[in-house]
A and B are shown apart, each in its own frame.
Chain A
Amino acid sequence: MTGAQILIESLKREGVEVMFGYPGGSVLPIFDSLYDSDIRFILTRHEQGAAHAADGYTRATGKTGVCIATSGPGATNLTTGIANAYMDSIPLIAITGQVKTFLIGNDAFQEADITGVTRPITKHNYLVKDVKDLARIIKEAFHIASTGRPGPVLVDIPVDVQQYEADFVWPEEIVVRGYKPTYFGHPGQIKKAAKLITACKRPLIYAGGGIITSGAHKELKDLAERIKAPVTMTLMGLGGFPGTHELSLGMLGMHGTAYANHAIMDADLIIAVGARFDDRVTGRLDAFAPLAKIIHIDIDPASISKNVRVDVPIVGDAKNILGQLLEEIKQVSDMSDWLKTIESWKKKYPLAYKDGGKIKPQYIIEQIYEATKGEAIITTEVGQNQMWACQWYKYGYPRTFISSGGLGTMGFGFPAAIGAKVGCPEKIVFDIAGDGSIQMNIQELATCVSNKINIKVAILNNGYLGMVRQWQELFYKKRYSYTRIYNPDFVKLAESYGAAGLRVTKKEEVRPAIEKAIAIDNTVFIDFHIEPEENVYPMVPAGEAINRMIGGMA
């Protein structure tokens, strides 16, 4: 077999059904093999779109997504997508072509040192110099990407390695001696944690993306209900605990709910599960959770005590550890006073917005929630659209909210929606977008139409780069420096690609337009003209304690 054939065969052995990518000179042998293969290939219009689509596919299905690009610019165009997956611990395989082995380092045409470039944004990467190593490397790459704290792995394959012949040898097992993730919590630590849980009076579970990665949503719900602890989620954790549950406090942090942030400040025990105390969550670190002891459950030892002091660290897989904890906890205090306090905060500081004027973006998201009965997969771009999508849609299930958390990549939501829809064709997939973000990967309209991928894009069009404008309003004396943007006619633009476009300028048109978009068997852009200077509230200014919220009715 040629290297290219070995690659395709290896991908099939790993269960790959679909790939996203873009051809080019240094991947011609791979594309030639792909031509005969039954792997579905989605040709995007930009390599960044391919990386985000593979990422969205992973987030929606839990299966490791695969993207491919040629050497040089093809590879460098993948990098934002790779960095995005890295920050959110998403398993992803990026395959890149490379110039011929004897040309590497010669500034050859379309050469870039992509293993060098992606070293700090991949979990691991490989340059394949011998075709005999290829099958083993692919198997290792999938293993490393999808286990432990997952992440992207890049495999760079020179074009001559793709052409060389070798026998196909699929390794039965692989040994990576420097890589042995811990999956079960240390029994001593479990006992210590259980003791704290038994003794606490005001517990709070702070759940992150690790819940979704490890599939721990059932154990999380069991634990919350057993000990009567309210649950707040990070952006990455949304969907890990039902948003409609009486113990749910929604999201915490900079644009979290006031009641979640107050709960952090008042809790006497915080059980952090698969979360990493990001600065957008903690606000000012020395004022974070002053009364609480902290149990931190995470698969990555480097996440523990990185930002906050932790009383009981437990390294391992969230699902296993929550299971171990559930077995260990016998009895807990009566939490009714604590839950009453939480209830009073919920009544006193609900999420709210003032109606009137132009269409309110919050209303649009509420209507999408109702029209889809909370059963859709929601992807977002980054900025105000993303925060409103976090606040106003109640995610009932894991893998239904797909958003760029750590890196905050504008242009992520639309291609991620493509990946999600390819992975879950039976689901309605909505990208909640801003007029700025959607233009960062708008070329993927062609991918949707040509592959009959049916996505709904709700553009919250305020004519601004809204989140930056909000900061300029609040912290830069309304000096709107380069945040007012000129937009195309999104309806005509969608139509020119062969997709459908709807424009909505009145509140009463919102719901019918959403229903109509869902009924259209095509990708639809809904151009919602919203209140131009609507802000996301509550908001904790950067560097403040997280109960120092400003704005809105909260």
Chain B
Amino acid sequence: MRHTISVLVENKFGVLARVAGLFSARGYNISSLAVSDTLDPTVSYMTIVVEAEDEKVLEQIKKQLNKLIDVITITDFTKKEHINRELILVKVNYSPKDKARLEGILSKYIAKIIQHKGDTAIIEAVDEQEKIKELLEVLSRFGIKELVRTGRVVIA
């Protein structure tokens, strides 16, 4: 099962390594991670997405996260109602005759063409994970040249 956990931590060097270490020590792969400052400069916010088959192990990771001195609070959004967003930037093959078709597709998502040069267009999309997945499938018909994405962020 895919879990989304947010962790409020002290904004200090080494904290990310401590947090990540709890996952890696148990052989868990972090599938997405977003770290940023908050309004309080002494605090950072991490959003971690992790795939965990064994709920017990995840429970243990959450308890161990809570034990880290630099961790202030943690929240598991998995069973909570929440809004999640990811941002992608994607380069696709592009020719002017595709313009209308591409714009038609993008209008169904929170997405737009932000640049086109020669035979390449760069598209920006911000949406929830399922929609992003769907969009990428559609865009793959044009031919995806490059894809970068941020970690998921959530708010409840």
Stretch at the interface among B68-76, B88-96, B114-122: B68-76
Stretch at the interface among A70-78, A117-125, A442-450: A117-125
In the bound assembly, the distance between CA atoms of A176 and B10 in angstroms comes to 10
Given A178-B69, A178-B70, CB of A119 within 8 Å of CB of B18: yes
Number of interface residues of B (CB under 8 A): 19
Give A125's nearest chain B residue, CB to CB: B14
Contact of A120 among B25, B59, B66, B67 (CB under 8 A): B25
Q: CB-CB < 8 A to A179: which residues of B?
A: 69
B64 contacts A by Cβ under 8 Å: yes
The 7 closest A-B pairs by CB, nearest first: A302-B63, A124-B69, A178-B72, A179-B69, A178-B71, A178-B69, A302-B64
Q: CB-CB < 8 A to B66: which residues of A?
A: 301-302
Q: CB-CB < 8 A to B140: which residues of A?
A: none
B143 contacts A by Cβ under 8 Å: no
Q: Mark B5-40, 1 if CB is under 8 A from A, else 0.
A: 000011001100110010001000000000000000
Q: CB-CB < 8 A to B69: which residues of A?
A: 123-124, 144, 176, 178-179
Show 30 residue pairs from A and B whose CB-CB distance is below 8 angstroms, ordered by the A residue. Answer: A115-B14, A116-B17, A119-B14, A119-B18, A119-B21, A120-B21, A120-B25, A123-B69, A124-B69, A127-B13, A144-B69, A176-B69, A177-B72, A178-B9, A178-B10, A178-B68, A178-B69, A178-B70, A178-B71, A178-B72, A300-B67, A301-B63, A301-B66, A301-B67, A302-B60, A302-B63, A302-B64, A302-B67, A305-B59, A306-B60
In the bound assembly, the distance between CA atoms of A305 and B18 in angstroms comes to 23
Interface of chain A residues 112 through 153 with chain B (CB within 8 A)? 115-116, 119-120, 123-124, 127, 144
In the bound assembly, the distance between CA atoms of A405 and B63 in angstroms comes to 23
Q: CB-CB < 8 A to A305: which residues of B?
A: 59
Further 10 A-B residue pairs, CB within 8 A, beyond A178-B71, A301-B67, A305-B59: A115-B14, A119-B17, A119-B21, A123-B69, A177-B72, A178-B10, A178-B68, A178-B72, A300-B67, A306-B60
Q: CB-CB < 8 A to B68: which residues of A?
A: 178
Contact of B14 among A127, A176, A301 (CB under 8 A): A127
Q: Mark A83-120, 1 if CB is under 8 A from B, else 0.
A: 00000000000000000000000000000000110011
Chain A residues in the interface with B (C-beta under 8 A): 115-116, 119-120, 123-124, 127, 144, 176-179, 300-302, 305-306
Q: CB-CB < 8 A to B70: which residues of A?
A: 178
Whole-angstrom distance between the Cβ of B70 and the nearest chain A Cβ: 6
Q: CB-CB < 8 A to B63: which residues of A?
A: 301-302
Q: CB-CB < 8 A to B59: which residues of A?
A: 305
Q: CB-CB < 8 A to B25: which residues of A?
A: 120
Give B67's nearest chain A residue, CB to CB: A302
Q: CB-CB < 8 A to A115: which residues of B?
A: 14
Max chain B CB contacts within 10 Å: which of A119, A123, A144, A306? A119
In the bound assembly, the distance between CA atoms of A147 and B72 in angstroms comes to 18
Q: CB-CB < 8 A to A123: which residues of B?
A: 69
Q: CB-CB < 8 A to A300: which residues of B?
A: 67
Q: CB-CB < 8 A to A302: which residues of B?
A: 60, 63-64, 66-67
In the bound assembly, the distance between CA atoms of A89 and B96 in angstroms comes to 68
Q: CB-CB < 8 A to B67: which residues of A?
A: 300-302
Whole-angstrom distance between the Cβ of B135 and the nearest chain A Cβ: 39
In the bound assembly, the distance between CA atoms of A177 and B17 in angstroms comes to 19
Q: CB-CB < 8 A to B13: which residues of A?
A: 127
Q: CB-CB < 8 A to B21: which residues of A?
A: 119-120
Give B17's nearest chain A residue, CB to CB: A119
In the bound assembly, the distance between CA atoms of A124 and B21 in angstroms comes to 13
Whole-angstrom distance between the Cβ of A89 and the nearest chain B Cβ: 12
In the bound assembly, the distance between CA atoms of A306 and B67 in angstroms comes to 14
Q: CB-CB < 8 A to B17: which residues of A?
A: 116, 119
Interface of chain B residues 117 through 148 with chain A (CB within 8 A)? none
In the bound assembly, the distance between CA atoms of A306 and B25 in angstroms comes to 16
Max chain B CB contacts within 10 Å: which of A178, A179, A305? A178
In the bound assembly, the distance between CA atoms of A446 and B9 in angstroms comes to 46
